[in-house]
Amino acid sequence: MDDTTRDEGPAAVLVLGATGRTGRHVVDGLLRRGSRVRALVRRPDEAALPDGVVVVPGDLGDAASVARAAAGTRAAFLLWPGLEATGADGVVQALAEHVDHVVLLSAADLHATGPDRPMPGVWADLESLLLRARTTHTFVRAGGFAANTLGWAEQVRRGDTVRLPFPRAGRSLVDERDLAEVAVAALTEPRWRGSALTVTGPETLTQAEQVHTVAELLGRALRVEEQPAEEAHAELAAGLGEAFARSSLAYWASLVAGP
């Protein structure tokens, strides 16, 4: 369904990033609470969202399509897809013209400055834009995303060794379903407006401990091998850019001494 004029009844909640690992759970949680849901989707034919969700074709990088999707909604969940905030100002302005509340999936700076500040980079940039926008906000600041461990999946399928940089780097991982539960509360309960909510898992685990946990759940023996930093840098830079590779490896290195 791509005709937003077919919405009826109370204003819907717009979910940006509805087909992602966290966004899908946000959609499900909103529906369970009785909210009406609209989703901006780049490829509607492949979205496979639940019945009742109004699917609007568009691109999060296009502020005009965001504005069309936001028209007539009351709140929005925003998951920014890039590693830079280029173009985000127009998207935030488009949302602020139509919704009265935005919930941003951000990231917590748990290491250097404590949980009261966002991670530097795109997350801090987006929070800054929303602080200046004409709408209320809630920042859901995540610890490490548990789903990132899926980056090891192919190695686990191929054999019994997982190669990764800084295996003694430790941090608290949080599941995307828990993040979605907090986001849904922030979208539906006025008491969380204006809040920055830091969401972590129950304990700090090193990367090696994470691999061993996966091994226990699979009933397999897995071995951790430290990947040279220069090799990891080359792989990250090839896929995500030089700046991301440099900052990520520096961050993981810092988590060895200070999880």
Nearest 5°: phi and psi at 87?
Answer: 90, -10
pLDDT 10s digits, 2-13: 444 344 446 899
Cα angle value 64/67/73 (rounded, 5°): 165
As given in the structure block, the two tokens for residue 38 are 């609209």
Mean local confidence (pLDDT), 140-164:
94
Contact 77, 13 (CB under 8 A): yes
Q: What is the pLDDT of residue 9?
A: 47
As given in the structure block, the two tokens for residue 44 are 């509607």
pLDDT of 255 higher than 50: yes
Confidence of residue 247 (pLDDT cuts 50, 70, 90): confident
Where residue 41 sits, what CATH number does that domain have?
3.40.50.720
Among the residue ranges 6-20, 92-106, 130-144, the one predicted with the least confidence is 6-20
Q: How many contiguous H segments (helices) and E segments (strands) does the chain have?
A: 9, 12
Residue 100 lies in domain = 4-257
% the chain with pLDDT above 90: 74
Confidence of residue 34 (pLDDT cuts 50, 70, 90): very high
Element (H, E) at 90: helix 88-96
pLDDT of 158 higher than 90: yes
Q: Total structural domains in the chain? A: 1
**pTM, rounded to two decimals:** 0.89
pLDDT 10s digits, 228-244: 999 999 998 998 888 88
Cα angle value 120/122/124 (rounded, 5°): 50
Residue owning tokens 């969202």? 49
Element (H, E) at 233: helix 229-240
pLDDT of 113 higher than 70: no
Query: How far, in Å, CA of 78 to CA of 18, rounded?
Result: 9
Mean local confidence (pLDDT), 84-110:
94
Query: How far, in Å, CA of 109 to CA of 191, rounded?
Result: 24
Q: What is the dihedral of CA 120, 150, 211, 255, to 10 degrees?
A: -10
Contact 30, 10 (CB under 8 A): no
